[in-house]
Amino acid sequence: MSDFFADFAARNPSWLTEAGPFSDVALSTRARLVRNLPEFPFPHHASDVELETILADVSRRLGRLPTFSDGWDVGFAGLEPVQRRALQEKLLASFRLVSRPTSRGLVLSRDLCRAVMINEEDHLRLHAFRPGFDPQGTLASVMALDDELEQEVESAFSPDLGYLTASPTNLGTG
């Protein structure tokens, strides 16, 4: 962890520093997918033990994915408030994750262009970022991450409703 924060203040994501399509109009594009584990209640109903189990298991599994093999696994409980805030200000963590750090985490790719928040509103929030206005490229990036994730983690899914989420507005396939 200290390895990550030692140079975090100076590290800017490539989607923030590089020019992309229509970068004179849009700074960056983000795509998000939400996934939950079928064997656990949603985070707002899960016990502390269940949240810790999810965090440990999912962090380990994400570390095996090619996207995160040289990235970082950041546990929020051990971070200083200013460190959590820095992650939020760089749009890598949400307010909910920052404000409730116990049993929550973040896994980041080396270039900070892909991230997974663990135990936010849902078990997993997958994010992909690209510079400029690039919705198709960003969607392709987060879908590729989802494909990798499916090799390690089973998602809660209903044939009738699609992917099951804590919020009905995120239900289905987006």
pLDDT tens track for 89-116: 888 899 988 988 899 999 999 888 999 9
Residue 15 — very low, low, confident or very high, per pLDDT cuts 50/70/90? confident
**54-93 pLDDT tens trace:** 999 999 999 999 999 988 899 888 888 988 998 898 888 9
Could you count the other beta carbons within 10 Å of the beta carbon of residue 158? Answer: 11
Which residues contact residue 46 at a Cβ distance below 8 angstroms, ignoring those fewer than 6 apart? 40, 54, 119
Check: CB of residue 145 under 8 Å from CB of residue 128: yes
pTM of the model: 0.89
